[in-house]
């Protein structure tokens, strides 16, 4: 949840998160170049992986802030909400993730993060390997069983 100014290390902390929700008045930025420095906690690597490269490079080289609305437009944040709905929205998103099978969520995250740096054919092979690993879990049996029985699944991370 981003509420207000997320500059320098605050922006880099946000960039290290998988999902980001910003209050509509928030701004993000890496302004180290204005001080003769460069971001030192992953900003030069995570920002270009989180939004279009040219836009990220402009933000890194100018040090200009990015409004919450532009961050949403460029895919840097997942949602922009009024300040009074920020924590409620962020917590609802987190709770939504918690409803899913933990092993599957972890596998999806790993496949996506590793696969994005691979050629498509390698990424598809990785996905197949991950599917086979998850498919052997008790959770992979519980999910379809619960669906067929019209009940909420009880995942045990096994």
122 is known as an active-site residue: no
Q: Active site residue: 12, 99, 127, 138, which one? A: 12
All residues at 6 or more sequence positions from 157 whose CB lies less than 8 Å from its CB, including other chains: 101, 102, 103, 139
For 3-30, the DSSP string reads: -SEEETHHHHHHHTSSS-EEETT-EEE-
Q: Active site residue: 32, 110, 127, 149, which one? A: 32
Q: Cα dihedral sign for 119, 124, 129, 135?
A: positive
149 is known as an active-site residue: no
Residues 130, 107 contacting (CB under 8 angstroms): yes
Q: What is the CA radius of gyration of the chain?
A: 19
**Which residues are known to be catalytic?**
12, 32
């Amino acid at each position: 949840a981003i509420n207000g100014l997320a500059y320098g290390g605050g922006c880099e902390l946000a960039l290290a998160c998988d999902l980001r929700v910003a209050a509509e008045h928030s701004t993000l930025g890496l302004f180290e170049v204005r001080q003769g420095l460069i971001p030192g906690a992953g900003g030069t690597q995570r920002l270009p992986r989180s939004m279009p490269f040219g836009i990220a490079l402009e933000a890194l080289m100018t040090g200009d802030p990015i409004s919450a609305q532009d961050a949403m437009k460029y895919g840097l944040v997942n949602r922009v909400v009024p300040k009074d709905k920020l924590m409620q929205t962020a917590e609802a998103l987190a709770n939504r993730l918690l409803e899913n099978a933990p092993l599957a969520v972890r596998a999806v995250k790993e496949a996506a993060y590793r696969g994005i740096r691979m050629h498509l054919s390698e990424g598809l092979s990785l996905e197949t390997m991950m599917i086979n690993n998850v498919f052997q879990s008790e959770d992979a049996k519980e999910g379809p069983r619960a669906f067929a029985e019209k009940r909420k699944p009880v995942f045990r991370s096994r």
